[in-house]
Amino acid sequence: MNNERWEKIKARLQKSKFRSGFKLKEKEREYFEDKGENIIRQHAYDFIADRLAPTNPKNDGKQTPMRGHPVFVAQHATATCCRGCLSKWHKIEAGRELRKEEVDYIVGIIMGWLNEQMSL
């Protein structure tokens, strides 16, 4: 994802009290450091493919835990946690399977947020 696009999305998300309240806790930071960015990125791709990309994701709206993995926290912080949030915040409509470029976009947003959190 290009930096300009990330900055625009980040500015919108920071205006939301709910979205801007998410931060990585020590356990999630340690997990990120232990696994490394490439493994965390692969986890993000796996979670998106399994929980978000299908036409009708199982338990949509409730499929992403609030904690337990850095990617889950990032998904809530970046409004990439369910198809409803993807539609509202990112204009990615529900009711169809996500395209590869959309999955790449979502993972890019997640990783952008995680990298910023890790540099704090």
Question: What local confidence, expressed as pLDDT, does residue 11 receive?
Answer: 93
Written as one letter, the residue type at 107 is V
pTM, 2 dp = 0.93
pLDDT above 80: residue 3:
no
Q: How far apart are the first and last CA of the chain?
A: 21
pLDDT digits (tens, 9 = 90+) for 10-60: 999 999 999 999 999 999 999 999 999 999 999 999 999 999 999 999 888
* Cα(104)–Cα(120) distance, integer angstroms: 25
**Which residue is it, tokens 């493919």?**
49
